[in-house]
Chain A
Amino acid sequence: MIDLLSFINPGLWIIIAGAICAFLPVGSLRKALVLAAPIFAAFMIYMIYPFGSEEIIAGKVNFGGIELTTLRIDKLSVVWGYLFCLAGVLNALYGLHEKCRMTDSSALIYTGAAVAGVMAGDLITLFIFWELTAISSVFLIWKGGKRAYAAGLRYLAIHVFSGVLLLAGAVMYADANGGDFAFNYIGLENPGGWLLLMAMGIKCGFPMLHMWMQDAYPKASITGTVILASFTTKFAIYALARGFPGTDILIWIGAVMTCFPVFFAVVENDLRRVLAYSLNNQLGFMVCGIGIGSTLALNGVVGQVFLHVIFKGLLFMSIGAVMYRTGTAKASELGGLFRSMPFTAVLCLIGAASIAAVPMFAAFVTKAMILAAAVEEHLYIPFLMMLFASAGVMEHSGIKVPHFTFFAHDSGRRVKEAPWNMLLAMTLAAGICIVLAFPWGGYQMLYALMPFGEAVEYHPYTVDHVVFQMQLLFAAIFAFTLLKRRGLYPAERRAEILDVDWIYRRVGVGIAKWISAMWAYVSILTKRLRNHAMQEAGRRLYQVFSPTGRLSETAPSGLPALMTAAMLVLILIIAYFVR
């Protein structure tokens, strides 16, 4: 039985469950499916690929002369496979209260597409699931209500465009490699590689290509944002880790990517948007690690991705819970909520500690690997940029998010604690964050997952590392308290903060409006001229071709007879003289 099913990509089971959900009217059954499908997929992954086995390549399909490898599980992709299944379960728990067929079905298809995508063995299969993640997830954005509609469209357009780039790059790349579409190390030797990098860059938010994330995520529904934040970008990180490890340009792209969102996050009022910037910043660490490409760095990236999905999900969940109860996620409207949502506050603090890499919490054991790898490779400037960004992470995710939500001045809102299912999901996530960073037997489990090298020889809990990390964190908090006291910390103000999307949302729309206005103007000016020309042309044509026109004059039979003779002469002349 298992043998029979072992050539089927486990992600497909989740997609099928999603398709069933779309037609299942019973809410409780749907919820059961949403919970069970990722678990079943994880079980299938385990069945196909028991721990420590060789690379599995299966599910070969011949499609129009191209051999597709629909299933490839190795040490790298299996981590993402389990991770996405785990995230799927947590998200399902978190969204248990929401009775919405569209959310359930698109969440499952989206999750399944991401799982299937990371297990794609060739670029065409990758492309298919690449587009499927985009198309299935846009419904989660649209569930955010009317104001999310345009953002969803922009999201869809950008992601479909990314898919098109991916396909074009894949074709060019395969062309240069004798028609081999296999998805392995790609590199930038041929132009197809650049297109592929661009496609992945859009999906994982390279600087200047990142705007869709901050545009769409904060506008999605509460559960939608949590689900969205789990998969798309990490899928892209997987693709980068597979296709471009050790590509130098990624070091600098990643370093810039860690720094710039920090500045946006500090002024942003919408906390879900702050978290979107924070997400972008975290992705920067991963991209940079992929660029460094040493075993240490790549293992760090894998660990970082694993934990990141959990703690970033936890942060989005806690803000989502707040939004679910209060109706807003704007820092200016919140504050003092620890009085009414103490559990959520604690869980949020655990998430904040995890992302800020406080010792004993998640990111401490993985982010350090990337930083250490940068030092090892003597990449001091990227190292300093990432260190700067770590202080920034502390600012926006470690301090700003919990502070303005749960502490700060009391907004006077007295609401109920979050629903039990949300608390359960968050508790599980928080538990994972703590367990996987536990110095005695915890982080070793995480390190055992890491795919590169025989065994990971890195020890995060050395005294100097803990001490210096604490220096950084205490200094940041001290700076915060000091600036706050001096009144230098800017108050949260409601505003729309412009980002790169301004180019098309404002300038682009402006240009389009201008062109259409000019077009209307010119067309009015030239209307008479054009009408005259058209009429004249029509009249001329009519005069020649119509039944009363010159060509149709009813000639007596004599004329055609003459014409016949003329034809004969013509033919004879040609037959005689033309050589």
Chain B
Amino acid sequence: MTMLDIFPNWLLAHGPAFLMALPLLLAAITAILPNEKIAWFSSFAVTLICTVTAFALALNNIQNGVSVYPLGGWDPPHGIALVIDALNAPILVLIAFMAVITIIYALPATIAEVEPKKRAPFYAAFLLCMAGLLGMVVTGDAFNVFVFLEVSSIATYTLVAMGASRDRRALRAAYNYLILGSIGATFFVIGIGFLYMETGTLNMAGMARILHDLEGGSRVAKVAFGFIIVGLGLKLAMFPLHMWLPGAYAYSPTPVTTFLSSTATKAALYLLLRFIFFVFDPDFEYVASVLTYVLVTLGVVGMLFASMQAIFQIDARRMLAFSSIAQVGYMLLGIGIATTASVAAGYLHLINHAIIKGGLFLALGAMWYRFGITRISDFKGMAKMMPWTMGAFTISGFSLIGVPFTAGFVSKYQLATAAAGAGWWWAVGVIVVTSILAIFYIGQALLLAYFQDPPKIEGRTVAKNEAPLAMLVPMWMLVFASIVIGMRGGVIVDASWRAAIFLLGGGQ
């Protein structure tokens, strides 16, 4: 009896449809629920069900391979197919899991950060966003990807704007994000259009087959490739197109920041992987040259610049936001090297970074929740004021730096070995340098927290005031996950290798 036997067959059979339909449906209902508690509870139930479903599907994928679910019984290429393969199954689990974490955390956080009458809509928008993300990952149809991309994006703009009750700058950030996100989506849909022109189908597997037969296709395919890369690049905050990100992360409500940082950019990265290695093929000359010259260059420059910028930030969340841009650089580097090992490493870092950065943002949110802290200089004495929260921040921070026995080390080490294995020794150097820069920006917060006394207010030292349990539990779940991956990350590493082998074939 394997773990898979626990799940009923109908769940495995209809799970893919379930994943995108259930949150979509519940989002509509949640929006009109009068009571925020009921709204929270329904959202929590939905996210939990989605997690279980995604997990079951991932297990099923490991055991039985790729499964295609024709939506409404219409077979591809005419109908829309939902596909579960080695590439998207772990991402689905990640998104659903992070949604659960965020929802648990949102219970106390929304009370502090969102106006009471907006709380039920907040949950609705959250579910909508999640539905969009799950949908764009699960679908096998290129246009459907665009639709769900827009669904999630529009929900995200709303969510970011809800931070306005905390900080009015959230509105401006949301507007910025809206404009740039729309540009990105437009570029993406233009790319899809060109691709449809070239191949005559919207089914991604079909596109891949036809492009392969055409040996890369005509100029139209090249243009389509360019548009798709830029569109997705904007969505995933590739270095010079990252400008929407710091604002959006810094001013939106904490649960939103957490969810965005650990899922939205990751879903976009997933799409990048899907298009570069699945729809297109790195064997095409133009794909290879863009990988080598654009993605790697931008990835490396982004790693260095964003890390430097993170060091000089005053606002802690902006610091983490810039760190996220730097981390995206690692993943781009892994993708750009384009060997099986490097793609596996990039994919691994994608998952690990979601967990690490989620933990950091949650910890920061808890500090804001208790003490209204946003600036790094306010970390003084935090280790005494909130020992558990600071502990979570510390371990996640170490993981971000890449200290051995943490998740960050596993993926950085894999990336470095992959780079060295491909003969890219200078890239190893860059990885080391940026890890050192990470020591600086995480270290300055840790130094203040551990080696300074808590501030005094009216002559009295600020007392210890630990975060509520509903915040600590999700935070420490992520920390625990990070340590487990660092100690014995076999499962995740295997998943990343399966994804890379699925994309590139056997290899090293």
Q: Which residues of A contact B (CB under 8 A)?
A: 541-542, 544-547, 549, 551-552, 555, 557, 559-561, 563-564, 567-568, 570-572, 574-576, 578-579
How long is the Cα–Cα vector from A559 to B311 in the complex, in angstroms? 25
Contact of A561 among B183, B311, B314 (CB under 8 A): B183
The 3 closest A-B pairs by CB, nearest first: A575-B286, A546-B312, A557-B179
Contact A571 B294 (CB under 8 A): yes
Q: A575-B225, A579-B285 are in contact. Are A564 and B305 (CB under 8 A)?
A: no
Contact B240 A567 (CB under 8 A): yes
With CB as the reference atom, state the residue of chain B lying closest to A569: B226
Interface centre among B180, B184, B230 (most CB of A within 10 A): B230
| Neighbouring B residues of A568 by C-beta, 8 Å | 187, 226-227, 230
Please encode chain B, from 237 to 274, with 1 for each CB lying within 8 Å of some chain A CB and 0 for all others. 00011011010000000000000000000000000000
27 contacts between A and B (CB under 8 A): A541-B312, A545-B309, A546-B309, A546-B313, A547-B312, A547-B315, A552-B246, A559-B243, A560-B244, A561-B179, A564-B180, A564-B183, A564-B230, A564-B241, A567-B230, A567-B233, A567-B241, A568-B226, A568-B227, A568-B230, A572-B223, A572-B226, A574-B294, A575-B222, A575-B225, A575-B226, A578-B293
Min CB gap A462→B, angstroms? 71
Q: A560-B180, A563-B240, A567-B233 are in contact. Are A572 and B222 (CB under 8 A)?
A: yes
B380 contacts the other chain (CB 8 A): no
Interface size class of B (residues with CB under 8 A): 35 or more
How long is the Cα–Cα vector from A555 to B230 in the complex, in angstroms? 19
Contact B311 A545 (CB under 8 A): yes
Contact B311 A564 (CB under 8 A): no
Contact A564 B184 (CB under 8 A): yes
How long is the Cα–Cα vector from A416 to B326 in the complex, in angstroms? 81
How long is the Cα–Cα vector from A546 to B314 in the complex, in angstroms? 8
B318 contacts the other chain (CB 8 A): yes
| Neighbouring A residues of B243 by C-beta, 8 Å | 555, 559-560, 563
| Neighbouring A residues of B184 by C-beta, 8 Å | 564
Contact of A552 among B219, B229, B230, B309 (CB under 8 A): B309
How long is the Cα–Cα vector from A549 to B286 in the complex, in angstroms? 36
How long is the Cα–Cα vector from A555 to B179 in the complex, in angstroms? 13
B308 contacts the other chain (CB 8 A): yes
Contact A547 B318 (CB under 8 A): yes
Interface of A (DSSP majority class): helix
How long is the Cα–Cα vector from A567 to B287 in the complex, in angstroms? 15
How long is the Cα–Cα vector from A506 to B41 in the complex, in angstroms? 78
Min CB gap A578→B, angstroms? 4
Min CB gap B461→A, angstroms? 30
With CB as the reference atom, state the residue of chain A lying closest to B319: A547
| Neighbouring B residues of A547 by C-beta, 8 Å | 312-315, 318
B403 contacts the other chain (CB 8 A): no
Contact of B305 among A551, A567, A570, A578 (CB under 8 A): A551
| Neighbouring A residues of B176 by C-beta, 8 Å | 557
Interface of B (DSSP majority class): helix
With CB as the reference atom, state the residue of chain B lying closest to A563: B240
| Neighbouring A residues of B314 by C-beta, 8 Å | 547
Q: Which residues of B contact A (CB under 8 A)?
A: 175-176, 179-180, 183-184, 187, 219, 222-223, 225-227, 229-230, 233-234, 240-241, 243-244, 246, 285-287, 289-290, 293-294, 305, 308-309, 311-315, 318
- The number of inter-chain residue pairs (CB within 8 angstroms) is 84
Contact A579 B289 (CB under 8 A): yes
Min CB gap A112→B, angstroms? 36
Contact A571 B229 (CB under 8 A): yes
How long is the Cα–Cα vector from A541 to B309 in the complex, in angstroms? 9
| Neighbouring B residues of A563 by C-beta, 8 Å | 240-241, 243
Min CB gap B263→A, angstroms? 22
How long is the Cα–Cα vector from A388 to B240 in the complex, in angstroms? 85
With CB as the reference atom, state the residue of chain A lying closest to B179: A557
With CB as the reference atom, state the residue of chain B lying closest to A576: B222
With CB as the reference atom, state the residue of chain B lying closest to A558: B179
Contact B311 A571 (CB under 8 A): no
Interface centre among A541, A557, A561, A563 (most CB of B within 10 A): A557
Contact A578 B289 (CB under 8 A): yes
Contact B222 A551 (CB under 8 A): no
How long is the Cα–Cα vector from A551 to B306 in the complex, in angstroms? 10
How long is the Cα–Cα vector from A542 to B311 in the complex, in angstroms? 9
Interface centre among B222, B293, B309 (most CB of A within 10 A): B309
Contact B309 A575 (CB under 8 A): no
How long is the Cα–Cα vector from A547 to B246 in the complex, in angstroms? 11
| Neighbouring A residues of B289 by C-beta, 8 Å | 574-575, 578-579
Contact B312 A564 (CB under 8 A): no
| Neighbouring B residues of A578 by C-beta, 8 Å | 289, 293
Min CB gap B483→A, angstroms? 26
Contact B308 A570 (CB under 8 A): no
How long is the Cα–Cα vector from A551 to B318 in the complex, in angstroms? 14
Interface centre among A557, A571, A579 (most CB of B within 10 A): A571
Min CB gap B248→A, angstroms? 13
Contact B308 A545 (CB under 8 A): yes
How long is the Cα–Cα vector from A542 to B308 in the complex, in angstroms? 9
Question: Besides the contacts A557-B179, A575-B225, what 19 more A-B pairs have beta carbons closer than 8 Å?
Answer: A546-B313, A547-B313, A547-B315, A549-B312, A552-B246, A557-B175, A559-B243, A563-B243, A564-B180, A564-B184, A564-B230, A567-B230, A571-B226, A571-B229, A574-B293, A575-B222, A575-B226, A576-B286, A579-B289
How long is the Cα–Cα vector from A542 to B314 in the complex, in angstroms? 12
| Neighbouring B residues of A551 by C-beta, 8 Å | 305, 309
Q: A542-B312, A547-B315, A552-B309 are in contact. Are A570 and B294 (CB under 8 A)?
A: yes
How long is the Cα–Cα vector from A563 to B238 in the complex, in angstroms? 12
With CB as the reference atom, state the residue of chain B lying closest to A571: B226
Min CB gap B180→A, angstroms? 5
| Neighbouring B residues of A559 by C-beta, 8 Å | 243
With CB as the reference atom, state the residue of chain A lying closest to B175: A557
Min CB gap A456→B, angstroms? 60
With CB as the reference atom, state the residue of chain B lying closest to A542: B312
With CB as the reference atom, state the residue of chain B lying closest to A546: B312
Min CB gap B272→A, angstroms? 13
How long is the Cα–Cα vector from A557 to B311 in the complex, in angstroms? 25
With CB as the reference atom, state the residue of chain B lying closest to A566: B240
Min CB gap B240→A, angstroms? 5
With CB as the reference atom, state the residue of chain A lying closest to B295: A571
How long is the Cα–Cα vector from A544 to B312 in the complex, in angstroms? 9
How long is the Cα–Cα vector from A164 to B176 in the complex, in angstroms? 63
Min CB gap A278→B, angstroms? 53
Min CB gap B280→A, angstroms? 11
Min CB gap B18→A, angstroms? 36
| Neighbouring A residues of B293 by C-beta, 8 Å | 574, 578
How long is the Cα–Cα vector from A544 to B311 in the complex, in angstroms? 12
With CB as the reference atom, state the residue of chain B lying closest to A555: B243
Min CB gap A569→B, angstroms? 9
Min CB gap B454→A, angstroms? 26
How long is the Cα–Cα vector from A181 to B223 in the complex, in angstroms? 65
How long is the Cα–Cα vector from A394 to B226 in the complex, in angstroms? 96
| Neighbouring A residues of B222 by C-beta, 8 Å | 572, 575-576
Contact A561 B180 (CB under 8 A): yes
How long is the Cα–Cα vector from A216 to B230 in the complex, in angstroms? 73
| Neighbouring B residues of A570 by C-beta, 8 Å | 294
| Neighbouring B residues of A576 by C-beta, 8 Å | 219, 222, 286
| Neighbouring A residues of B315 by C-beta, 8 Å | 547
Min CB gap A554→B, angstroms? 8
With CB as the reference atom, state the residue of chain A lying closest to B285: A579
| Neighbouring A residues of B175 by C-beta, 8 Å | 557
Min CB gap A573→B, angstroms? 9
Contact of B241 among A545, A557, A560, A574 (CB under 8 A): A560
How long is the Cα–Cα vector from A579 to B184 in the complex, in angstroms? 27
Contact B223 A564 (CB under 8 A): no
How long is the Cα–Cα vector from A579 to B293 in the complex, in angstroms? 11
| Neighbouring B residues of A571 by C-beta, 8 Å | 225-226, 229-230, 290, 294
| Neighbouring B residues of A541 by C-beta, 8 Å | 308, 312
Interface centre among B286, B309, B312 (most CB of A within 10 A): B312
Min CB gap A243→B, angstroms? 39
